[in-house]
Amino acid sequence: KGRQFVRSVVLIPWVIPGVLAAGMWKWMYDPQMGVINRIISQIGLGIRPLWLSDPKLAIYSVLIVNIWKGFPFFAIMLLARLQAIPEEIFEAGLVDGVGVWQKFRHLTLPLLLPTIYICTLLRTIWAFNYVDIIYAMTGGGPANTTQTMATYTFLTAYTGLNFGKASALAL
């Protein structure tokens, strides 16, 4: 019950365009009015981090958005793999007397590992190609701490209008 609703909610980060997601998270990271700092102050920690202005925090702030945006891909792939595992494997484990933890550790996880490896590899490759989130949130700053090769290539081509150098960088 509610499976379709959960699947729909899990897909939301993936279907939101990168620039819109970046704007939403930039608002949440706002030091004065952001939801994240408001929660931190309500907990009583008494700090107001400058999430996108601090060179030490900016890359992690952008990374959190990237992970949030990529979570649905992992969820869909792992769900598909879980549904493809033959039920006989778990029945055999039940006959052998495995518990819940042993079932997960010795049956489910080894069957999920190839999917986890492939998903991690693909998300890592795709993360290096993201321009929209980083550009919309920080523009590569502060002090180039969130600059990637993709954003540097984009900025070289479209703000510096140096398309030859940008082509060489892209290659």
Do 157 and 163 touch, CB atoms closer than 8 A?
yes
Distance CA 130, CA 133 (A): 7
Please check the confidence at residue 3 and state whether its pLDDT lies above 90.
no
Give the per-residue pLDDT at 1.
78
Whole-angstrom Cα Rg for the chain: 21
3-state helix, strand, coil in the chain (%, to 5): 75, 0, 25
Please check the confidence at residue 4 and state whether its pLDDT lies above 90.
no
Distance CA 39, CA 5 (A): 27
Distance CA 166, CA 140 (A): 16
User: Residue 13 contacts by C-beta under 8 Å, 6 or more apart in sequence?
Assistant: 21, 68, 69, 70, 71, 72
Query: Among residues of the chain, what percentage have pLDDT more than 90?
Result: 77
Q: For the segment 97-122, what is each residue's pLDDT rounded down to a tens digit?
A: 989 999 999 999 999 999 999 999 99
Do 20 and 65 touch, CB atoms closer than 8 A?
no
Give the per-residue pLDDT at 23.
95
- Residue 153's H or E segment, with its range, is helix 149-158
Q: For the segment 51-103, what is each residue's pLDDT rounded down to a tens digit?
A: 999 999 999 999 999 999 999 999 999 999 999 999 999 999 989 998 999 99
Give the per-residue pLDDT at 130.
84
Q: What is the pTM of this model?
A: 0.83
